[in-house]
Amino acid sequence: MKLEHKELFKNRNFRKDLAASLINRFGDSIDAIASSWIVYELTGEASWSAIIYAINRLPTIFLTPLAGPWVERHNKKMIMVVTDLIRALCVGVLATGLLLGFLSAPLIAVLSFIISSAEAFRMPAGTAIFPQIVPQEMYGTAMSINQASSSVVELVGTGAAAAIIALIGSAGAIYVDMITFVLSALLTFSLQLQEEAKADTQGFSLNAYLTDLKEGFIYCGTKKRLVAITMMVLFLNGILVPMNSLQTPMVKELFHGNVWYLSLYGTVVSVSMLLGSVIFPMIQNRLNVKMVLVMVCSSIAAFHILIVAGSPFYTNQYVAIATIVVLAGMLGLIISITNMFLSVETLRIIDREYLARAASIGSALGCAIMPVTAFIVSAVVHFAGVAIIFISTGIIAVAFCGVLFFNSALNDEPQVLAEESSEAA
């Protein structure tokens, strides 16, 4: 593993791509705090925060699948550069508006929509160039380094956000985010890649675009193993919504705790996910899809059911704290390992010429299930309560594992499927 790390860091493109990603993550972690504070400060209404959150998700759900075919016919590196600069410009307008006093909640909503739309093009482009940067046999190690580094940078950025805002103000913090986008664009532009975009010498063709879009959906639908793994991704994104959206009610109603319990829970999850990204390269060759399926479903079921079962004992704060540390630590570790395993498997399965389209379709599906699940949870919890929601979540996790475990597509080796699809192509 040490040799793989050394080999990766000798790769100049990998170093630049990693640096661009980390710089972006640092800026975003500061911006997340500053923007949330600015919206509430301007409006005094929590509803605007919810509206802007929804607006941020819309391009990912609706625009990303449409962006994939277009991205595959154009220079992916330049798409990433241009979208970084668009995001920098929007963030700069936001900061300037705050500084000069013309910023408003509707303007923030418009800028957020433009930024998310740019990201809808950047994401499939970034996925498509990944195999040009990292050899297939090093996918797992590269993702481990990326996720571990990103987690550390995000923790640092979140911790530094309050100090930065206090030192240079909210507008200054947003300008810091703008600078990170510019630096990311410069680093991405300096990547030395062999562009694999399809020739598009006649300019944009609607027929060619629609053909590529149709082929992308057909390709994803006919790859049985990819469909099964996508179902696992959808399951993860959906099943974690109750836990993510009901953290405060969970702490108050089940743990009988306060904001310090909530902070402890978030910290333990973050640290355990960081640990998972470090462990993954050591165990990735011993994992298979069914093993990961059972592992993640069992941990999700145990987390939700045991938290409810132990509720009567949480009047003792030491028992409550110990339960949070053990269960949140277990869940964060397993989710981190599962996310990286599924990402590596997906990259191995998909042929290069379909990477942008498949990644954009998968991203849209993954995001679409979250607001749907959140709506269902918000409607049901009003009548059923947090405990019933958590127990139901645990039961659904077990049922999903049972259904998907017997899917024959999960028995096949990804390398075999990749070879078969290449021959078919």
Q: What is the pLDDT of residues 17-29, one digit of tens each?
A: 989 988 988 887 7
pLDDT in tens, 310-355: 988 988 889 989 999 999 899 989 998 998 888 888 888 887 777 7
Q: What is the mean pLDDT of residues 296-321?
A: 90
- Is residue 120 within 8 A of residue 68, CB to CB? The reply is no
Percentage of the residues of the chain whose pLDDT score is greater than 90: 17
CATH numeric code, 212-424: 1.20.1250.20
- pLDDT in the model for residue 235: 86
* Structural domain boundaries in the chain: 2-191, 212-424
CATH of domain 2-191: 1.20.1250.20
Rounded mean pLDDT, 139-162: 77
DSSP letters spanning 379-416 = HHHHHH-HHHHHHHHHHHHHHHHHHHHT-GGGGS-HHH
Residue spans of beta strands (DSSP E) within 23-142: none
* Top-ranked range on mean pLDDT: pick from 183-192, 215-224, 283-292: 183-192
* Mean of all residue pLDDT scores within the chain: 81
For the cut 80, the answer to whether the pLDDT of residue 129 exceeds it is: yes
DSSP letter string, 307-331: HHHTGGGGGSHHHHHHHHHHHHHHH
Statement: residue 96 has pLDDT above 90:
yes
Residue 56 has pLDDT above 80, yes or no: no
What is the pLDDT, as a whole number, of residue 257?
80
